[in-house]
Amino acid sequence: MTAREPDRQPQTEAESFWEKHYRSRRTWGGRANPLLVETAAPLRPGAALDLGCGAGGDTIWLAQQGWQVTAVDISHTAVEQVRARADQLGIGRYVTAEQHELTRSFPTGTFDLISAQYFHTPFPLDRSRILRTATRALRPGGLFLIVDHGSTAPWSWNQDPHAHYPTPGEVAADLDLDPEQWPVLRADMPRRRATGPGGQTATVTDNVLLIQRTGE
């Protein structure tokens, strides 16, 4: 297992929120997000970046498939638990876990696959700038998968009835990428039956954007 931490800075309100959130979780390295599995399963393993790795389900699944994964999260607890889970499963050599407040620091390196799964927060965040930074870390031929909430699940921390979830078209417009160099491979809003952390189920909508870097 490789670990690298950026220089420590005073903890932000967002970091405190997510620390509390992940310290309260009782399971780690659980299910991978199904849209990540669907996208990555046919691919030849390479280098992957998991933005906002959280409990680590995606990181662990990718590593088990042979991907070299850089997992980042704002929560120190999340990063440490993903690290420990990878070591426990004997796949620590495939995982580099780093804590980043992504408006302050960003992981180094380039990647064949970048995944941003449900990259939402209750705090002000220049999300578009972070996602644009991520595109610059994608290798030619690489894929960038962005999956957002398209509806509010009963177990979500965000129960605001007026919440606006960005559509795939809105996310693509915010990225403002040259479509000749960055073709959109998928942009849709599928519905699925999901299971929450307490075992409850609900039908949810996912907003999915998959783009590829074709140019240098």
- Give me the pLDDT at residue 107, please: 96
**Is 18:74 a contact under the CB 8 Å cutoff?**
yes
Give the global pTM: 0.86
Q: Are 28 and 135 in contact (CB under 8 A)?
A: no
Query: What pLDDT does 198 receive?
Result: 75
Structure tokens at 58: 């995606």
- Map residue 113 onto helix, strand or coil: strand
Predicted pLDDT at 3: 47
Instruction: Identify the structural domains of the chain with CATH numbers, from first to last.
Output: 15-22+30-212 (3.40.50.150)
pLDDT along the chain (216 residues), means of 10: 48 76 66 94 98 94 98 93 94 96 93 93 79 97 95 74 87 95 97 82 93 88
pLDDT for position 120: 77
What pLDDT does 25 receive? 64
Cα distances (Å, whole numbers) of residue 38 to 32, 42, 184, 200: 10, 8, 17, 23
pLDDT at 160: 74
Collect contacts of 7-12 with beta carbons under 8 A, ≥24 apart: 9/101, 9/104, 12/101, 12/123
Angle separating helix axes 127-135 and 168-175, nearest 10 degrees: 70
What gap in Å lies between CA 86 and CA 48, rounded to an integer? 15
DSSP3 helix / strand / coil % (the chain, rounded to 5) = 25, 25, 45
DSSP code per residue over 34-52 = HHHHHHHTTSPP-EEEEET
